[in-house]
């Protein structure tokens, strides 16, 4: 259902392959249930991270509107700013 809803938005493919799910063994033992983490830190754009997923939609929308410049703001160590600069 969510996949169908997202399909109506333009998307720029910035993630070259699916990111892994890694089981957190010790936390799973402690919680007495299987717990996994999605390894978005392994994406290739500007040291990776989950911000690439947001940029896939923001950049596609900007391009669809004919933009030739991306402007963003953030803290000095902002992953979003670093990845936006790498994309540009």
Q: pLDDT (tens digit, 0 to 9) for every residue of the chain, 88 residues total?
A: 777 887 888 888 888 778 889 999 999 999 999 999 998 888 777 777 778 888 888 999 999 999 999 898 989 888 888 888 888 8
* pLDDT of res. 88: 80
Contact 84, 57 (CB under 8 A): no
Domains: count for the chain: 1
Range of the domain at 17: 2-87
The pLDDT of residue 31 is 97
Residue 72, CB half-sphere, CA atoms under 13 Å: how many?
21
Closest Cα to residue 49, out of 12, 74, 80, 20? 80
**C-alpha radius of gyration, the chain, whole number:** 16
Residues belonging to the active site: 78
Does the reported pTM lie above 0.75? Answer: no
């Amino acid at each position: 259902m969510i996949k169908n809803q997202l399909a109506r938005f333009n998307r720029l493919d910035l993630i070259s392959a699916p990111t892994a799910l890694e089981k957190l063994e010790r936390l799973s033992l402690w919680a007495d249930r299987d717990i996994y983490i999605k390894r978005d830190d392994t994406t290739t754009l500007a040291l990776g991270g989950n911000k690439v997923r947001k940029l896939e939609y923001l950049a596609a929308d900007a391009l669809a509107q004919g933009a030739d410049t991306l402007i963003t703001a953030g803290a000095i160590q902002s992953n979003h700013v670093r990845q936006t600069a790498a994309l540009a």
